[in-house]
């Protein structure tokens, strides 16, 4: 009997339609006038499957129970290849921390090929951490277990939160050690290696277009744009089938729209990407590349989870929309030879701002339980709420979940404060002046709620649908990493199960909904992280 994975036959969509690197020999190099390089994953010592995403597997034609196919671990570590697989690494560049970095590319990501899922959507399977490629520069192409666990869990957490994202099919321990200097302080140590199989309709980034613009290679850039539009934006194709300047412009406008919508979702759930370089921006508006990300604990717009960004805070929570626009500007500059209309591209960038602003208002109205955004009252109400959240360390996730429990009728401030109390990290910060300001806001909030003519129960149900109870707080991920490094995979399984239902009550899992404990405030991996992985 054939193994179940034999039914998953991959197809060469990307490599079948775009330009290959003329050099196939191993070794890092500058790759010119090519979209990808053919590569092969490096063999590992002892692949072991640590985590599996059953619903995604089923959609791709793989078993929901991986034990039904013992050969999966080897395939998902790159030890063997799926039928039809033609592995490749993509060429791209990017702006990193605001500066052009030149060629970057898939330095440790190897795409295995494409396949249509159960819904007919094209999906790319990609191994992260499967060895060097021509784009690895001075790196080894591997990934360590800690970063791979974080990527696996967060990809799936974001998916179930309703945030546009790449997904993660599997997590495999390689059995090999990887040398990493986690804190960039000269104290490198060996860590267990791992490979994540990431899945997305496309892993093309803004930087895929920037590299061709930087080299004045317009023909391959046009070919890539045509491929992306035909495969992933087919609704934009003109009846004639011939792409024109207006097609490229319509495509860019949609990229702007999708990016804005993604960033609104990040704000809603309190997600901070940490490294929004243009090479980490998906052309499909998906959250991509889970590195030094973090979840907002106490509300602080200036907070960044990335130690490399601690000085400038370029990628802080409150800057993400501004950086999204800046990155889109770089993409617009790159594709100008295709659109040939500066004013139209500028108008599209303005469209991003309009979509983001409207989306943010709608999102904040929903977080506060308002039926819709009413500018005359809600702008000031929301601004004051955010000001109040910044006066005392207040948990972004918990405070909105608890706010839903404050009744519309009432006015007993002490009862209201007791309801919100689990969201405060430092109760002593609730000074008399703070209490008075919060009391005044709650009175205005109740008055606004009464205008919607909804019951407290209806409002709470609506708020609980957009305000998660469970998110992948960094300390929870770190506890799972600590356990996995000691051979215990149970915490990974528990978190994965928990995060499939982030909006549900799950009464037996209350401990996972608590605010970050004090011991995790400054511990490595529990607050800020480096890019080392």
Work out the average pLDDT over 477-490: 96
Structure confidence at residue 498 as a pLDDT band (50, 70, 90): very high
332 membership: H or E segment, kind and range: helix 320-339
| Residue among 463, 475, 464 nearest 514 (CA) | 475
Structure tokens of 194? Answer: 């791992």
Paired residues of 529 in beta bridges: 306
Has residue 58 got a pLDDT over 70?
yes
Residue 239 contacts by C-beta under 8 Å, 6 or more apart in sequence?
Answer: none
Q: Where are the alpha helices (DSSP H) in 404-488?
A: 413-420, 432-450, 456-464, 474-485
pLDDT digits (tens, 9 = 90+) for 137-159: 887 899 999 999 999 999 999 99
Distance in angstroms (rounded) separating the CA atoms of residues 44 and 52? 19
Question: Quick check: 125 and 111 in contact, CB under 8 A?
Answer: yes
CA of residue 28 relative to chain centroid, distance: 28
Has residue 411 got a pLDDT over 90?
no
Return the pLDDT at 229.
98
Q: 217 exposed, middle or buried (CB, 10 Å; 0-12, 13-18, 19+)?
A: middle
Radius of gyration of the chain (CA): 24
The residue annotated as part of the active site, out of 21, 106, 226, 279, is: 279
Return the pLDDT at 282.
98
| Residue among 278, 279, 270 nearest 109 (CA) | 279
Return the pLDDT at 183.
63
Q: 63 exposed, middle or buried (CB, 10 Å; 0-12, 13-18, 19+)?
A: middle
Distance in angstroms (rounded) separating the CA atoms of residues 1 and 382? 62
Distance in angstroms (rounded) separating the CA atoms of residues 291 and 273? 8
Lowest mean pLDDT among 19-28, 95-104, 211-220: 19-28
Paired residues of 172 in beta bridges: 49, 195
Residue 365 has phi, psi (to 5 degrees) of: -60, -45
Return the pLDDT at 1.
42
Distance in angstroms (rounded) separating the CA atoms of residues 222 and 212? 9
C-alpha distance from residue 496 to each of 53, 204, 246, 370, 460 (Å): 9, 27, 44, 31, 26
Distance in angstroms (rounded) separating the CA atoms of residues 256 and 209? 15
- Using the structure block, give the residue that is written with the tokens 């970050």: 516
Has residue 532 got a pLDDT over 60?
no
C-alpha distance from residue 490 to each of 12, 197, 493, 509 (Å): 37, 20, 5, 15
Q: Between the CA atoms of 368, 371, 373 and 376, what dihedral angle is there, to the nearest 10 degrees?
A: -100
pLDDT digits (tens, 9 = 90+) for 281-290: 999 999 999 9
| Residue among 524, 508, 427, 415 nearest 470 (CA) | 508
Question: Quick check: 469 and 513 in contact, CB under 8 A?
Answer: yes
Return the pLDDT at 37.
98
pLDDT digits (tens, 9 = 90+) for 189-239: 899 999 999 999 999 999 999 999 999 999 999 999 999 999 999 999 999
Residue 447 contacts by C-beta under 8 Å, 6 or more apart in sequence?
Answer: none
Return the pLDDT at 406.
96
Work out the average pLDDT over 24-30: 92
pLDDT digits (tens, 9 = 90+) for 59-69: 999 999 999 99
How many residues does the structure list for the chain?
A: 533
- CB hemisphere CA count around 154 (13 angstroms): 28
pLDDT digits (tens, 9 = 90+) for 286-339: 999 999 999 999 999 999 999 999 999 999 999 999 999 999 999 999 999 999
Residue 193 contacts by C-beta under 8 Å, 6 or more apart in sequence?
Answer: 44, 129, 142, 143, 144, 145, 173, 174, 175, 176, 177, 178
Has residue 510 got a pLDDT over 90?
yes
Distance in angstroms (rounded) separating the CA atoms of residues 78 and 76? 5
C-alpha distance from residue 475 to each of 383, 426, 514, 521 (Å): 30, 18, 11, 9
pLDDT digits (tens, 9 = 90+) for 70-85: 999 999 999 999 999 9
Tell me if residue 336 falls in helix, strand or coil: helix
Residue 295 contacts by C-beta under 8 Å, 6 or more apart in sequence?
Answer: 269, 270, 271, 272, 397, 471, 472, 473, 474
Q: How far apart are the first and last CA of the chain?
A: 39
Full-model pTM: 0.96
Question: Quick check: 306 and 528 in contact, CB under 8 A?
Answer: yes
What mean pLDDT, rounded, does the chain reach?
95
Residue 481 has phi, psi (to 5 degrees) of: -65, -45
Distance in angstroms (rounded) separating the CA atoms of residues 104 and 321? 24
Has residue 51 got a pLDDT over 60?
yes
Q: 394 exposed, middle or buried (CB, 10 Å; 0-12, 13-18, 19+)?
A: buried
The answer to whether 464 is a known catalytic residue is no
């Amino acid at each position: 009997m054939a193994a179940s994975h034999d039914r998953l036959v991959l197809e060469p969509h990307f490599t079948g339609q775009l330009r290959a690197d003329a050099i196939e020999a191993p070794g890092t190099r500058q790759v010119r006038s090519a979209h990808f390089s053919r590569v092969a994953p490096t063999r590992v010592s002892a692949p072991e499957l640590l985590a599996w995403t059953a619903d995604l597997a089923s959609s791709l034609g793989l078993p929901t129970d991986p034990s039904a196919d013992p050969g999966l671990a080897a395939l998902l570590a790159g030890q063997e290849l799926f039928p039809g697989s033609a592995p490749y690494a993509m060429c791209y560049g990017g702006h990193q921390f605001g500066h052009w970095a030149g060629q970057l590319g898939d330095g440790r990501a190897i795409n295995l090929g494409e396949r249509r899922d159960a819904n007919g959507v094209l999906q790319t399977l990609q191994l992260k951490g499967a060895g060097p490629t021509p784009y690895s520069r001075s790196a080894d192409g591997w990934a360590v277990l800690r970063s791979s666990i974080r990527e696996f869990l967060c990809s799936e957490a974001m998916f179930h939160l309703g945030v546009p994202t790449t997904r993660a099919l599997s997590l495999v321990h390689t059995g090999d050690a990887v040398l990493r200097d986690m804190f960039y302080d000269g104290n490198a140590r060996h860590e267990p290696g791992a490979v994540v199989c990431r899945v997305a309709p496309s892993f093309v980034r803004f930087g895929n277009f920037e590299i061709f613009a930087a080299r004045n290679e317009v023909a391959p850039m046009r070919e890539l744009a045509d491929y992306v539009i035909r495969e992933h934006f087919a609704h934009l194709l003109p009846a004639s089938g011939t792409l024109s300047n207006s097609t490229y412009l319509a495509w860019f406008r949609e990229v702007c729209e999708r990016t804005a919508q993604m960033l609104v979702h990040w704000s809603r759930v309190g997600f901070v990407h940490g490294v929004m370089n243009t090479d980490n921006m998906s052309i499909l508006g998906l959250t991509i590349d889970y590195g030094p990300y973090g979840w907002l604990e106490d509300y602080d717009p200036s907070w960044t989870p990335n130690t490399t960004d601690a000085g400038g805070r370029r990628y802080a929570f409150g800057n993400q929309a501004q950086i999204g626009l800046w990155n889109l500007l770089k993409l617009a500059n790159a594709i100008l030879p295709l659109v040939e209309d500066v004013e139209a591209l500028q108008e599209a960038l303005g469209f991003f701002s309009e979509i983001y602003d409207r989306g943010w208002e709608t999102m904040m109205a929903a977080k506060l339980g308002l039926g819709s955004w009413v500018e005359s009252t809600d702008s000031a109400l929301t601004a004051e709420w955010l000001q109040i959240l910044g006066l005392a360390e207040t948990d972004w996730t918990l405070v909105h979940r608890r706010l839903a429990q404050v009744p519309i009728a009432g006015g007993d401030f002490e009862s209201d404060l007791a309801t919100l109390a689990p969201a405060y990290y430092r109760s002593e910060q609730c000074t008399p002046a703070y209490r008075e300001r919060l009391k005044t806001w709650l009175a205005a909030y109740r008055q606004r709620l009464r205008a919607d003519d909804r019951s407290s129960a209806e409002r709470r149900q609506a708020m609980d649908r957009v305000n998660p109870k469970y998110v992948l707080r960094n300390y929870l991920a770190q506890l799972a990493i600590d356990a996995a490094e000691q051979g215990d995979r149970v915490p990974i399984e528990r978190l994965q199960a928990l995060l499939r239902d982030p909006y549900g009550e799950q009464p037996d899992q209350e401990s996972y909904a608590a605010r970050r404990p004090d011991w995790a405030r400054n511990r490595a991996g529990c607050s800020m992280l480096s890019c080392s992985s």
